[in-house]
Structure 1
C-alpha cells in the first residue's frame, strides 16, 4: 500500500523547473508581441472610428479633399494617432460618390532580426456608408494612373 502512495505522491509534485521555464518563456513572448504590435492595432481602431465619424457628417459630399483630410487629422490628433495612418489618407471623388481610403503597411521589429509586417486597409465609400471601413474598392487601379 505504501508503494502506491509514494507513486501517487510523486505524480502530484507539480510542474518541474523546465515546465515553469517554458510557461514563463511563452508568457514573455506573448507579452512582447502584444507590446510591439498592440499600438498599431489601437491606431487602426481609431482610424476605423475616424472614418465612421466622418461618414456621419451630413455635409461630407460638400467638403473638398483638404477639408476631409483636416477633419481626419483633427480626429487623429485628439486620439493620438501618428505616423503612417496620418500620411496614408487618400480621397478619390467619383461622379456620384466619394472614397476615403487609409491604406498602409507597418513593419515592426519583433525580436533581433525578425520583423512583423502589418497591413491595414480601411475605406469609406459614401455610396455604401453602412459598410464603412471594409475595403470595397481595389486601389491598385487608381495608383497606376498617378
Structure 2
C-alpha cells in the first residue's frame, strides 16, 4: 500500500507555467470584454427602464411628443444615460398610436484594431404600453405613409 501511495503522489504535479499563462490570458480577455462592453449594456438597461417608466403613466396614450421627450430626458438625466441612446430617441405618430423608438448601434474598440458592434432596438407603442420595449414595428414603413 505504501508503494502505491508513493507512485500516485509522485505522478501528481501542479499546474504548468503554460497552463497558468493560458488561464490568465482567458481571464484577462474576459475582464477586458466586461469593462469595455459593460457600460453599454447598463445604458441599454436604463433605456428600457425609461420606456417602462413612460409606459406606467396613466395618460400615456394621450401624451404629446414633447411631453414624452421631456419625461425620457428627465429619466435619462437622473440615471446618467448619455451619448448615443439619448440622441436616438424618435417619436412617430401614426393611426395606431404614438410609437417611441430608441434604436441605436454602438461600436466599441476592444483590442487594437478589433471592434465590437452592439445593436439595441427598443420601442413603446402608447396604445399598447403593456407590450413595452420589444421592437414590434418597422418605423420606416410608418414614416413613409
Fold match by TM threshold 0.5: yes
SS in 1 for 2:27: helix
Q: Closer, same or farther in 2 for the Cα pair 1:142/1:97, shift >3 Å? A: closer
SS in 2 for 1:27: helix
Q: Could you say which residue in structure 2 is the equivalent of 1:122?
A: 122
Flag structure 1 segments of 5+ consecutive residues without an equivalent: none
Flag structure 2 segments of 5+ consecutive residues without an equivalent: none
Q: Could you say which residue in structure 2 is the equivalent of 1:140?
A: 140
After TM superposition, the structure 1 = structure 2 runs for residues 24-103 of structure 1, keeping only pairs within 5 Å, are 24-103=24-103
For residues 24 and 15 of structure 2, the distance between their equivalents in structure 1, rounded to whole angstroms, comes to: 12
Q: Closer, same or farther in 2 for the Cα pair 1:137/1:64, shift >3 Å? A: same
**CA positional deviation for 1:60:** 1.9
SS in 1 for 2:32: helix
Q: What stretches of structure 1 move > 3 A for 4+ residues in a row?
A: 1-7
TM-score by length of 1: 0.90
**CA positional deviation for 1:98:** 1.3
**CA positional deviation for 1:129:** 1.6
Residues 88, 102 of structure 2: 8 Å contact kept: yes
What is the Cα-based RMSD across aligned positions, in Å? 1.9
TM-score by length of 2: 0.90
Residues 61, 127 of structure 2: 8 Å contact kept: no
**CA positional deviation for 1:99:** 0.6
Render the CA deviation track for 1:89-135: whole Å, top value 9, x for unaligned: 01111224111000000000000000000000000112322121000
Q: Closer, same or farther in 2 for the Cα pair 1:80/1:37, shift >3 Å? A: same
